[in-house]
Structure 1
Amino acid sequence: MAEQELPTPSESVGKRVARARKRRGLTQQGLSQRTNYARSHIAQVEAGHKVATPAFVAAVADALKVEMSELYGQPYRGDTPSTDRVHRSIPDLRRALAWSDLPPELEGPARPLEALAVEVENAKQLRRRAWHVQLGDLLPAVMEELGHHAHETDDPRAWRLLSDAHCAAGELSRRLGYSDLADSMFREAARFASLSRDPHLPLIITWRRALVLMNHGALAAAVRLLERCTERIEEGSPGDVEVSGALHLRAAILAGRLGDASNAWEHFERAAEISARAGRPHLDDYSTYFSPANILIHGAAVATELGDHDEAVRRDAAIPANALNSLARERRAHHLIDMSRVHLDQGRTGQALARLVEAERVAPQMTRYHPSARTVATHLQDRRRILSEDLRGLVARMRL
């Protein structure tokens, strides 16, 4: 494979950590005392010799009272209309959000609710494929038209669809690094969910919002909120299995990121038991992707968050190819990105790159804007002057 030189990489997470630390007037030893990481580990991350894992970034963000997105350098903006197009919907989403409390002023008549229900389903499919640009183009008008129906008719179905649309907008905003907008979207989605007469819908919005709280450095609060939600499940009612299982899986990941192995694996086992009792291979009424295959990749993810990379590799190897391929592209790419950082930590740079390249093939827009994917790519780029063609192409598309 041909090898070529690349220009100097963009600023690393380590450099942003060092700048934020100095801004708080802390030494590396001072930051070490506020986290569970040794001064030498912090020094190696700041110098670019160690990868800044999500758990490390979360701990540092909490200690320095900054957002994780700031340390990651999000949002990742482009310099031209073409390279920045994934962000072009953000102003429109903010404007759509401004109409949350009253019927929006539409330029023409709103489409029928049935047509808008189809659009919301299209939005869910775009989210499953991680097509950020197309999702952003679709959502603002749908949100405004659904707002018109909901406020004018007070139809529970309209409120449910409006909540779903705001959730999709919240997920997109979070992935692109707009945590403030994501949090606002989820808060409004929760308000609309309470009007939908579905008792489980507000719980799933907390499930989604927990990732925003994580970005704020509120991991412990996020885990506690998820645990509280599991206590509010109405057993025997529609969606109880999927909602309960999804809540436990997310609590497992966040507890793992906190370093709480006992709680993480307990939540994971609860989710596996719930799935086994369900007797159905796939439950997705709430777009949680709850399935046996999703549980398998969560097992590898919990081990990854806990830093048990040998266990993560073992669990990854045990996932059948057909199970992995059955997952939504969003979930499959996320798993590949997780495993890329596991392989990098263990010094298998070739396998780390291969996983990243595969993740980009599966979900290109998601991979190019995913903080962990960019962190691994930056580290691979920074460790060598001469880059392989695959790595050169990847970092060029990420504009690192």
Structure 2
Amino acid sequence: MTSIVYRGAGPSIAYARRVANLTQAELARAANVALGTVRKIERNERGISGDLLDAVAAALDIDPARLLPDTERPDDRLHRTMPGLSAVLAEYEAPEDGPCRTPEVLARAVRSVVAQRLSARYAHIARTAPALLAELCRGVHAAAPAERQTLARLLVDACRAADAVAYKCGARDLSARLIDLMRWAAGYAQDPLVDAAVAYVRTETFFAAERYTAGLRALERALDEVPRGTGPAVIAARGALHMRAAVIAGRARDTGASALHFGAARALGSQVDEGVYAGTAFGRDSVRIHEVSVAVSLGDGQVGRALELAREWTPPRDLPAERRSGFYIELARAQLWSGSPDAAFESLKTARRIAPQHVREHRWVREDAGTLRRLKRSDAASLSAFAEWCHARG
């Protein structure tokens, strides 16, 4: 993938370093870079590559987007990864020969991109996903049957991370093809819980096409395939599918099905600790976030419930950043609909602080920021800057 060099990040890096109470030498060691390089970057005597930006951001425990000036576009790295992903998808059934690391090493690499997805740090995924997917495809083809199951599960997880980039960037066709690769890999994994995770992600295609009733049917079929059991992984798999079904039923304006699935999700959520199961966060807090999603999906008559829940509860910080920011994006829409544009803007800013890459690429954020800018609020300058940052419509 073409290397991107960013200019003008030095002052932001220096500021973030001081906030983190690090010296330049300590930052250099943490980012595994020469001290002289850090000094030159902070003085804006040289640019910073995408890989180095990720390393510095990781050392500072901050999102890379927050280190770049407004004139830069951190989402360029996301969009430029699309050709690389397309190349992998064109040949996954007959990949070229090449090296393949051990399952243990690949598992560590996949855990890294999964963590980046849950943290909504898509730039890291964009940088590493094409090569990782290609390597896993080679491994699945070359492995013995027992090892193939393990590699296939890893391929599903890596595809899901890559799909997060494609879907958030609006590359819907590429997202659908990545989901097809997930389904292909799931056939080798031979694990009903992997199948359930793929069904959860596949719902994106129905959301994108606005085929909500068909998506609900697909989720209900997937629920029929999940084994019954009392283990946390099984409970979470069923609960996650019910959460997703409640939201898409709401989009279909099927209040009965939405209530039925949400009730099931709530009951299952009370039976497990909040956590990430097969790549999906599930538990009481995740169910509460989806209560806002369901209310917004159902529209006018239920918006008050979303606002009421937000007054009573806020997502805890230990939830994945992508899910927490999603809560505030949904809440902003409810606030806008209810005639509270200032509150909606505050919610959008909160979402950006949590997961800027997620927010910047979100279609609803762009729509709502454009609407807010047309309303010409008193903080028009701040709102205009936000709208330009996320490329808002209107």
- CA shift, 1:83, in A, is 5.6
Residue segments in structure 2 that go unaligned for 5+ positions in a row: 1-69
Give the structure-2-normalised TM-score.
0.76
| CA distance in 2 between partners of 1:325 and 1:165 (Å) | 25
- CA shift, 1:237, in A, is 7.5
Aligned to 2:205: 212
2:293 is equivalent to residue 310 of structure 1? no
Read off the aligned partner of 2:107 and give its amino acid letter: A
| CA distance in 1 between partners of 2:386 and 2:198 (Å) | 34
**For 2:95, what is the secondary structure of its paired residue?**
coil
Aligned to 2:252: 258
Aligned to 1:346: 338
Alignment of 1:125-164 (within 5 A): 125-154=115-144, 155-164=148-157
Give the structure-1-normalised TM-score.
0.75
Alignment of 1:1-400 (within 5 A): 84-106=76-98, 109-154=99-144, 155-236=148-229, 239-276=233-270, 278=271, 280-307=272-299, 308-319=302-313, 321=314, 323-384=315-376, 387-400=379-392
- CA shift, 1:310, in A, is 0.8
Distance 1:250 1:334, change over 3 A: same
Residue segments in structure 1 that go unaligned for 5+ positions in a row: 1-77
Distance 1:196 1:298, change over 3 A: same
Q: Give per-residue Cα distances to partners, 1:193-248, cap 9 Å, x unaligned.
A: 12112122112211111121221121111000101111111112762111100000
Higher-RCO chain (CA-CA 8 Å, sequence separation at least 6): 1
Read off the aligned partner of 1:144 and give its amino acid letter: A
Is contact 2:365–2:390 with CA below 8 Å preserved after alignment?
no
Aligned to 1:27: none
**For 2:335, what is the secondary structure of its paired residue?**
helix
Read off the aligned partner of 1:172 and give its amino acid letter: V
- CA shift, 1:267, in A, is 0.3
Distance 1:143 1:389, change over 3 A: same
Deviates more, 1:195-204 or 1:218-227: 195-204
Distance 1:374 1:123, change over 3 A: same
| CA distance in 2 between partners of 1:123 and 1:218 (Å) | 30
| CA distance in 2 between partners of 1:365 and 1:82 (Å) | 8
**For 1:289, what is the secondary structure of its paired residue?**
strand
Q: Give per-residue Cα distances to partners, 1:113-143, cap 9 Å, x unaligned.
A: 2111111101111101111211111111111
Read off the aligned partner of 2:85 and give its amino acid letter: L
Distance 1:221 1:112, change over 3 A: same
Read off the aligned partner of 2:136 and give its amino acid letter: L
Is contact 1:99–1:147 with CA below 8 Å preserved after alignment?
no
- CA shift, 1:385, in A, is 7.8
Read off the aligned partner of 2:224 and give its amino acid letter: E
Deviates more, 1:357-366 or 1:172-181: 172-181
| CA distance in 2 between partners of 1:81 and 1:249 (Å) | 34
- CA shift, 1:180, in A, is 1.0
Is contact 2:85–2:129 with CA below 8 Å preserved after alignment?
yes
| CA distance in 1 between partners of 2:190 and 2:106 (Å) | 19
Distance 1:383 1:136, change over 3 A: same
Read off the aligned partner of 1:186 and give its amino acid letter: I
Identity over aligned pairs, percent = 27
Read off the aligned partner of 1:337 and give its amino acid letter: I
**For 2:202, what is the secondary structure of its paired residue?**
helix
| CA distance in 1 between partners of 2:71 and 2:217 (Å) | 41
